[in-house]
Amino acid sequence: MKNLGLLDQFHLDHGKMSEIARAVYENPSLLAEFERAPEATAGRINGFTVPAGFHLHLADADNRLYPAEEAGTFGAADRSEWARMEFRVGYKTVSLVACA
């Protein structure tokens, strides 16, 4: 897959993101480790560095996020406006999600 210029603008390494998704797909036991410490686990897998202002999740084929997002992140009655930016790079049924 061709690296997307938008990922480059935000200093997100498409290749490394894909490798992380593939590593978790091929070794599902990494999911528990990722849930406890997403950034550290990503870094351990291939040296991926999370750009300032971003955090990580993994998403499965049913779009469940690991670790789960905090309640209210996607809006709540007492939050009239909110915004979110996501970049997803996947391998088969697993994607690495970088959010800001």
Read off the pLDDT of residues 49-77 as tens digits, 9 standing for 90 and up.
999 899 999 999 999 999 998 766 776 78
Looking at the predicted structure, is the pLDDT value of residue 2 above 60? no
What's the predicted TM-score (pTM) here?
0.86
Looking at the predicted structure, is the pLDDT value of residue 9 above 80? no
Q: Could you list the residue range(s) of the whole structural domain that residue 26 is in?
A: 5-99
Task: Supply the pLDDT for residue 84.
Answer: 83
Total domain count for the chain? 1
The beta-carbon contacts of 24-30 under 8 Å, at least 24 apart in sequence, are: 24/58, 24/94, 25/91, 25/92, 25/93, 25/94
Residue 58 Cα distances to 7, 13, 36, 72, angstroms? 17, 16, 12, 19
Task: Supply the pLDDT for residue 6.
Answer: 54
